[in-house]
Amino acid sequence: MQPFTMLVIEQIKAIPAGKVMTYGGIAAAAGSPRAARQVVRILHSMSGKYQLPWHRVVNAKGEIALMDDESRFMQQSLLKDEGVEFIRDGRIDLSVYGM
């Protein structure tokens, strides 16, 4: 496992319940601001193995990025259970979370 990958995994694991981070934000925190897509890949392929709170990651607009209906519903439910509030229809006001 490469250093950057490890940093990204740590960042994701460090997101507390009830908070969210963006793909780009995580990439930046791991020292590589333009590597948002790589964060996507890591979530996609290592969420299960490393027990990542994958549902706490959203895109830069505060939207759930998943394409699959079932998965996005799941993500929304998990976030709501943690107290994350959605504005009209599936968006999160990122300014509430300091972004």
Partner DNA sequence: GCCATGGCTAGTA
* CA-to-CA separations, 28 to 25, 38, 57, 66, in angstroms, rounded: 5, 11, 14, 21
Question: Which residues inside 60-99 make contact with DNA, applying CB under 7 A?
Answer: 60-61, 65-67
d(CA 25, CA 29): 6
| Radius of gyration from C-alpha coordinates of the chain | 13
Of the candidate residues 11, 23, 84, 94, the single one contacting DNA (CB under 7 A) = 23
Which C-beta is closer to DNA: that of 3 or that of 16?
Answer: 3
Which positions touch DNA (CB under 7 A)? 1-5, 22-25, 32, 34-47, 49, 54, 57, 59-61, 65-67
